[in-house]
Structure 1
Amino acid sequence: MATLLLPFAAQAQDPEVNCEDAQTQMEMTYCAEQDFVEADELLNAQYKLSRQATKAADADAMADLRGADAALVAAQRAWVAFRDAHCASYGYQARGGSMEPMLIYACQADLTRQRTEQLKELTDLTDN
């Protein structure tokens, strides 16, 4: 029976949606999700660079001045929890409606792009 569902699952994973002209709520939600996925990928790449910078700064610092990397990890964990909780609360504007997931994804994408910029700034400061 699972093999009968496979073609449907494959289709559901790769819909053909023009996000420049999304018409239905399902399309708009899908596009918001894809925007978040893209923003999250960029964040993860920047976070990796920022970790490299804080590790390098710690390696160059005297023992009692180290901790930049641990501080970054703690901040990132707290930030992810904040982002997810804040965006869940943002979604309450349409609680239970078909628009709620789109609002949450859009919020997550926006905050994620902001955090990526913050990490870039932090890395620039750490590199100097």
Structure 2
Amino acid sequence: MRTSLYLLVAGIGTFIAFGARAEDVDCNNPVTQTDMTACEQERQETADKALNVQYKITRAALAAVDKDLEGDMRGAEEALVKAQRAWVNFRDAECEAAGFQARGGTMEPMLVAGCIAELTDERTKQLKELAETMGN
């Protein structure tokens, strides 16, 4: 029990220290593995925020298309929601698999975060093109 408590406290301490340190990292020149991982995780967060913004825009564009269609012709927005959920599952599984290049090592979280950022950036572009095609 005592060992478990010690590990929990050590893990929380490491998390807090890592979180505070991530703000101080120069992502143009990361030096340590911890720095590289923090930069990839920051890139992942930025990509995710951009995706969420674009998804809302694209979803609104497809909802507008649905309004102009009759009864059984509607479904553009629903199709997007379904596709996005499937895409998130794909992205997460794909990046988990990419992490196996360094399974259990210190590089694994960096590889996963970088993969997520890259695929998320690509998806954001796809959603933007779809919205533009629909007139937004």
- Provide the C-alpha distance between the structure 2 equivalents of 1:13 and 1:85, rounded to a whole number of angstroms: 25
Does 2:19 match 1:13?
yes
Query: Structure 1 residue 124: deviation in Å?
Result: 1.0
Structure 1 residues 61-72: aligned runs within 5 Å: 61-72=69-80
Please provide the CA RMSD for this pair: 1.8
Task: Pick from 86, 92, 99 the counterpart of residue 100 of structure 2.
Answer: 92
- Provide the C-alpha distance between the structure 1 equivalents of 2:65 and 2:20, rounded to a whole number of angstroms: 42
- Per-residue CA deviation, residues 68-92 of structure 1 (Å, 9 max, x unaligned), is 0000000000000000000000010
TM-score by length of 1: 0.90
**Structure 1 spans left out of the alignment, 5+ residues:** none
State the structure with bigger RCO (CA 8 A, min sep 6), 1 or 2: 1
After superposing on structure 2, the runs of 4+ consecutive aligned residues of structure 1 that deviate more than 3 Å are: none
Query: Structure 1 residue 117: deviation in Å?
Result: 0.5
- Per-residue CA deviation, residues 23-50 of structure 1 (Å, 9 max, x unaligned), is 0000000000000100000000000000
- Provide the C-alpha distance between the structure 2 equivalents of 1:59 and 1:50, rounded to a whole number of angstroms: 14
Equivalent residue number for residue 54 of structure 1:
62
TM-score by length of 2: 0.85
Name the count of aligned residue pairs.
Answer: 123
Identity %: 50
- Provide the C-alpha distance between the structure 2 equivalents of 1:32 and 1:12, rounded to a whole number of angstroms: 13
Matched residue type, 1:110? E
